[in-house]
Amino acid sequence: MIPRPIVQFLPWIATGSLMALAWVGWKLRLAWEGLRAAQRAAQLERALREFGDLMRDAERPEAHAHELLQALEQLSGLAAAALLRPACGAQDVVLGEPDANALAGLQLCAGASRALGPGTAHHAGEPDLYLPLRGRDAALGAVTLRGLGSAPLAADHLAHAQALCDQMGLALQRRSVQDEARRAGELADMQSARNAMLAAISHDYRTPLATIMGSASALQTQAERLSHQQRQELAARIIEETTRLVRLTDNTLQLARLGAPGVALRCDWESAEEIVGAALRRVRRRPDGQRVKARVEPELPLLWCDAALMSQLLDNLIDNALKYSPVEAPVELVVRRVGSEALLAVRDRGPGIEPAWRDRVFDAFQRGDLAAFKQRPPGAGVGLAVCRAIAEAHQGGLSLRPRGHGGCSFEARLPLHDAPALPEAT
């Protein structure tokens, strides 16, 4: 039997034990809730970090807006919609299905760059929650969670939702700044190219115009005192300088046209023999045109090209070879097949081009090192740039290959296409 003195303390012992158990249970509950809160916070932090990595690496952040809406819908269990303003002046993009009232709320939220609705300091009585996509100095859109009612999101969920929106807003602003910087760079490059073009053209037009003016003036004022041979020389000089002006003008116009976006070529099935033959007929009219020798591979497939542009390409390459090679050295024009491409090469025996200039000579208004020439050859440095633009417009390319015993080989490569079958005779 339990002693009587101990029996009278049993109620107190039982009460103390129950209180101890209650205290332990309360502590365990607090620990469990703390653990769940820590796990939830870790999940939210991981989700925020993953979305931030996605936004940091995205070239077009607006393409991932649906993923933002999915994350917000999973967080809140509500339908989400968004209004995006990807760039300054661009048209707003609406995602989801907001009604007129929600769309007005999205525009107000984006314009004010602050959260609206339940759990916020502004328009807390509204049933929908609006969160801005905040950048550094402005909002680039907003999202809404529909039907939240009077019960706001938990504080940590609200903070997480706003952090996700801010990630998107910063990414959109970064893209906007990058686009503006790119456009500014393009405008600067365009202005620089335009200034260089004007300077080069004005300089290179001056000499032939002065020659034409002087020759024409001599024919007009001194024709009676000039011999027949002198008049012929003056007329030939006028024709030669006029031809230079025409070539310079054509090259400049083609360079501008081919550099414009969406340029359309007038392509058709052309014979390489005919294109080369036309180029030879034109060059034979020059005093030094007999130096050009042509060789076309037999049974070469038809070329799908713009005949006028290909003629201009060959004219420029031949003119370049004649100007920069000795008067007694031959110039070769070779057309042959190399794998799935057609090779059009113009080869000379000039002084060659230094390695540092072999890529730069294809840039507009670059003429390489002219120290090897006693007299500076005429030209504006546009011809090779036009040739490269023509080759690239045909999905090909233009390259320079130094020749083993001196000189250069300028080689244009064009892809070969299967020509359509001829209709059967009936």
Highest mean pLDDT among 19-28, 181-190, 333-342, 402-411: 333-342
Residue spans of alpha helices (H) in 58-99: 65-76
The stretch 155-166 carries a mean pLDDT of 86
Cα 202 off chain centre by: 31
Mean pLDDT of all residues in 194-201: 64
Which of 179, 208, 232 is the C-terminal boundary of a domain?
179
pLDDT single digits (tens) 211-224: 888 888 888 888 88
Lowest mean per-residue pLDDT among 38-52, 210-224, 329-343, 380-394: 38-52
Domain assignment of residue 333, given as a range: 267-371+379-415
Most confident of 1-10, 23-32, 85-94, 120-129: 120-129
**Residue 301: CATH number of its domain:** 3.30.565.10
Look at 284 and 5; give whichever has higher pLDDT.
284
Q: To 10 degrees, the CA torsion angle through 148, 151, 154, 157?
A: 0
> Where is the domain boundary, 179, 212, 243?
179
pTM above 0.85, yes or no: no
Q: Please tell me the distance from the alpha carbon of residue 356 to that of residue 368, in angstroms, as a whole number.
A: 9
Roughly how many angstroms between the first and final C-alpha of the chain, as a whole number? 128
Same domain? For 161 and 295 the reply is no
Q: How far is CA 398 from CA 42, 231, 248, in A?
A: 57, 42, 20
In a domain, residue 282? The reply is: yes
Query: b/e map of 107-117 (b: 16 or more CB within 10 Å)?
Result: bbbbeebbbbb
pLDDT at 200 over 70: no
Q: Does residue 205 lie in a domain region?
A: no
Q: H/E element holding 191?
A: helix 155-222
Q: pLDDT, tens digit, for every residue of 111-150?
A: 888 999 888 888 888 888 999 988 888 888 899 998 877 7
| Whether residue 404 is found in the same domain as residue 274 | yes
Q: Does residue 150 fall inside a structural domain?
A: yes
Tokens 């050009």 sit at which residue?
292
Q: Say yes or no: 302 and 169 in one domain.
A: no
Secondary structure string (H, E, C) spanning 223-254: HHHCCHHHHHHHHHHHHHHHHHHHHHHHHHHH
Is 99 a domain residue?
Answer: yes
Q: Does the residue 1 lie in any domain?
A: no
> Cα–Cα–Cα angle for 169, 171, 172, nearest 5°?
65
Mean pLDDT of 300-309: 88
Domain boundary residue, one of 129, 161, 179: 179
What pLDDT sits at residue 346? 93
pLDDT value of position 372: 47
Stretch 332-346: mean pLDDT: 92
Rounded distance between C-alpha atoms, residue 99 and residue 115, angstroms: 19
Same domain, 158 and 279: no
For the chain, the domain total comes to: 2
E strands along 330-389, which residues? Answer: 331-338, 341-347
CATH number at residue 132: 3.30.450.40
Domain membership of residue 130 (yes or no) is yes
Mean pLDDT, rounded, for 326-354? 90
416: how many CB neighbours lie within 10 A of its CB? 17
Cβ atoms of 82 and 96 within 8 Å: the answer is yes
Cα 61 → chain centroid: 17
Average pLDDT of the chain to the nearest whole number: 80
Question: How does DSSP classify residue 401?
Answer: E
Same domain, 163 and 300: no
Task: Name the amino acid, one letter, at 322.
Answer: L
For residue 203, being part of any structural domain is answered with no
pLDDT tens profile 237-263:
888 778 777 777 776 677 666 666 666
Greatest mean pLDDT among 25-29, 200-204, 386-390 lies in: 386-390
Q: Which residue has the tokens 């809406």?
A: 69
Tell me: pLDDT of 5 over 70: no
356 or 299, greater pLDDT: 299
Q: Does 376 score more than 70 pLDDT?
A: no
Same domain, 405 and 278: yes
Does the pLDDT value for residue 107 go beyond 70?
Answer: yes
Would you say residue 316 lies in a domain?
Answer: yes
Instruction: For residues 313 and 172, give the distance between their C-alpha atoms in angstroms, rounded to a whole number.
Output: 44
**275 and 400 fall within a common domain:** yes
Q: Name, in order, each residue with C-beta under 8 angstroms of 239's C-beta and a sequence gap of 6 or more.
A: none
Q: Are residues 411 and 271 in the same domain?
A: yes
* pLDDT value of residue 288: 82
Task: Give the whole-angstrom CA distance, residue 113 versus residue 330.
Answer: 73
Q: How far apart are CA 321 and CA 315, in angstroms?
A: 10
| Whole-Å CA distances, 163 to 115, 123, 132 | 12, 20, 10
Answer for the pair 28, 36: CB distance below 8 angstroms, yes or no: no
Q: How far apart are CA 395 and CA 373, in angstroms?
A: 35
